[in-house]
Structure 1
């Protein structure tokens, strides 16, 4: 049966079509990011409501990020031993557990339970972040960028559904504040299990489509792939979170700032519908460099102007730049790793991304206090220049080889 499924995938790839299973993973990713958006919307507020001291309000969300960083590599190891399907089912169980514990925490006013709930949510995210890599298993290299891009595009659903769930379920008569927001994780987990049950993975890609790169060529791709995804996440979080803080200090209304952030989130995921085609057209290196350029433009705008319009424009540039860097880096990694080293390399990649994302979430308030908005943008501009130069140096040696995996 696996041989038949593999042959079907290869046939679809030869016609330029993605397998139907890829769309199931895109839906799973939409659920993953919906839970993440709900979490970022309510975590600090629920924490402040239940914490013994205001200073502890962000501890649950911090624990969630720490759990993602700690459990990402173990999740990859579990996949290597037991397969992606069992791993994703296990991850969905942690999402359900987060919902049950979070509901109980808000009902019984238990702060430690709330911390545990966000820890469970972080473990779920550590597993769910591998959906984009699962989509390329068994696919020919020309189709891998499109598969990664499509799965990441699931975040566009989250940009709309996450805020709607948070607002609609925050205060419902007869239930504690935020309790139904956490209860929604149970439903999302059950839907995820149903989708994964129907998903048919191919854990062993056919030999014909495995990478045949030499170690030197592979290294020249893996390093810039990891740097692109991780640095894009770091820069995006630094500027997005600090922009929220700055808009608050500028007395921008909550509705206006919320719309600005929602526009940024849409800009992060909407390009995914075409990022795969762009990768096929211009190649990995040029896509990554374009991402750095867009991130640099967002930072430059933050240096030149401090106003609401400049912040909104910068956030949109930031979102598109993140998409090119994150999707481009993931696609480059997917086209480079072999079946033998994919779980280990993907685990290292996502662990580094999680660490950078965590730093990007915790540092903005500190940087705003110590160096201010303009200097933070200057720092991000320097990071873009360094990462872009690193990508250029690593991938200039064999540009033709780097483009071999993609049709012109």
Structure 2
């Protein structure tokens, strides 16, 4: 496997560490700064808004200028966002803090291209393994992110969350230096004579529709429940350490399976792996409905992470069979836009949904969406991509 794939896995780990750090503290900071309960998850929602806005431009920018320049720009925006968020926190300004998370979201959106860059760095036969390796970088993130949230509480006197942003700044600096050193693929000129299909034509493919739906709903449901969990645990008198532990094991559930998801896809088919992911998401909901003790949250979030891993990696693999080279940026961009739009809606609805519906109904809300993905994948009968 090329060294660039290993480097991108580390870059993904640093990116996800920052993301997990924000998930661990952003809702709690929102609770501290917001004047109304409906605004508690506004910083997280704006983080996803920044991510959404950046997806299409990032894909086209990298096709034109190359992966390295695109990733460098993304990390610089992330560094700026970290500083702005810190100023908002210190000044008790929800607006400034939210602007900072918005800029950080742009950086995270650019970083979502890491897995596609890994695909371009190796042969087609290694694609499932390359996707898995990059996503497996999240295992390191599962250790760094929650622990950084705990350790950094002692780094700044007067505010338990301010130190986390010093840590986040450091992560982005290391990622920037790594990207500068990696031999990433250069921009490949597009053949202007090759026909590029319209979005309508592209989405007439059951394969593309199923791949995008799997990514959207798998990610959206995961973010909905994950974002609501710290608030629900706080409501049920669980301390911050317990919450950080639950989030840490959730992230391990998200990324540890990535070490063998590629092998499972090669052996059993992408279709079957995504269906297993839907089953894991349903199991998570059932566990969450069974009680509000620490171990209910622990097991529920662990299976939520596993379900996300199978649906998201499976969806990424399916997507690669749905476009021609000239359509790459177009399809990758619209996929990221739609997937993270669903994630943003999940994060925005999490706080208000928890207040309006309660933890049980919030979980019940997820069931029909999971079943919809399972139906689309079950009906898919494309032999080549499903056995690739």
Q: Could you tell me how far apart the structure 1 residues matched to 2:167 and 2:287 are?
A: 38
Q: Name 1:100's counterpart in structure 2.
A: 83
Distance of 1:377 and 1:94 partners within structure 2: 35
Q: Kindly indicate whether the alpha-carbon contact (under 8 Å) linking 2:71 and 2:179 is maintained by their aligned counterparts in 1.
A: yes
Alignment partner, residue 66 of structure 2? 83
Structure 1 residue 403, shift from structure 2 partner: 3.9
Q: Judge which range, 122-131 or 237-246, deviates more.
A: 237-246
2:52 paired with 1:69: yes
Give yes or no for the alignment of 1:163 onto 2:159: no
- Shift, 1:54, TM fit: 5.8
Structure 1 20/64 Cα, relative in aligned 2: closer, same or farther at 3 Å?
same
Match of 1:285 among 266, 271, 279: 271
For 1:317 and 1:355, the matched residues in 2 are separated by 23
Q: Following TM superposition, by how much is the alpha carbon of 1:216 offset from its aligned partner in structure 2, in angstroms?
A: 8.4
Give the structure 1 partner of residue 193 of structure 2: none
SS in 2 for 1:340: helix
Q: Once the 2 structures are TM-superposed, how far is the Cα of residue 289 of structure 1 from its aligned partner?
A: 1.0
Residues 284-331 of structure 1: CA distance to partner in whole angstroms, max 9, x if unpaired? Answer: 111111111111222233345555433322222211111000111112
Q: Distance in 1 between matches of 2:146 and 2:307?
A: 23
Output the CA distance in 2 between the equivalents of 1:386 and 1:337.
24
Match of 1:222 among 208, 215, 238: 208
Report the TM-score, using the length of structure 2 for normalisation: 0.87
Aligned length: 378
1: distance between equivalents of 2:157 and 2:244? 28
Give how far 1:58 is off.
4.0
Q: Is 1:331 aligned with 2:317? A: yes
Cα distance between partner residues in 1 of 2:237 and 2:164: 28
Q: Is the 8 A contact 1:101 1:116 kept in 2?
A: yes
**Counterpart residue number, 2:35:** 53
Stretches of structure 1 that go unaligned for 5 or more consecutive residues are 1-17, 208-213
Q: Check the 8 A contact 2:48/2:340 in 1, yes or no.
A: yes
Q: Secondary structure at 2:324's aligned position in 1?
A: coil
Q: Does the 8 Å CA contact 2:153/2:163 hold for their aligned counterparts? A: yes
- Structure 2 residues without counterparts, runs of 5 or longer: 191-196
Q: Find the aligned partners of 1:344 and 1:158 in 2 and give their Cα distance.
A: 29
Q: Does the 8 A contact of 2:321 with 2:385 survive in 1?
A: no
Q: Note the C-alpha offset of 1:28.
A: 0.7
Deviations for 1:101-156, whole angstroms, at most 9, x for unmatched residues? 33444455555432332221111111011111111015332211111111111111
Rounded Cα–Cα distance in structure 2 between residues aligned with 1:246 and 1:70: 29
Corresponding residue for 1:13?
Answer: none
**Of 256, 267, 285, the match for 1:299:** 285
Counterpart CA distance in 2 for 1:120 and 1:242 is 22
CA separation of 1:48 and 1:206: change in aligned 2, threshold 3 A: closer
Q: Is 1:115 aligned to residue 98 of structure 2?
A: yes
* 1:3-22 alignment runs, 5 A limit: 18-22=1-5
Match of 2:234 in 1: 248
- 1:391 maps to which residue? 377
- Conserved? CA contact 1:300–1:381, under 8 Å: no
Is 2:12 the counterpart of 1:26? no
Cα distance in 2 between the residues matched to 1:253 and 1:83: 45
Answering whether residue 118 of structure 2 is matched by residue 135 of structure 1, we say yes
Deviations 1:188-218 (A, max 9, x none): 22222221122222357899xxxxxx98899
C-alpha distance in structure 2 between counterparts of 1:251 and 1:175, whole Å: 23
Query: C-alpha separation between the residues in 2 aligned to 1:363 and 1:342?
Result: 32
Q: State the secondary structure of the residue aligned to 2:110.
A: helix
Cα gap change, 1:62 to 1:304, in 2 (>3 Å): closer
Q: Distance in 1 between matches of 2:385 and 2:94?
A: 51
Q: Are the aligned partners of 1:67 and 1:119 in contact in 2 as well (CA < 8 Å)?
A: yes
Between the aligned partners of 1:254 and 1:92, the Cα distance in structure 2 is: 29
8 Å CA contact retained: 2:284, 2:301: yes
1:187-202 alignment runs, 5 A limit = 187-202=170-185
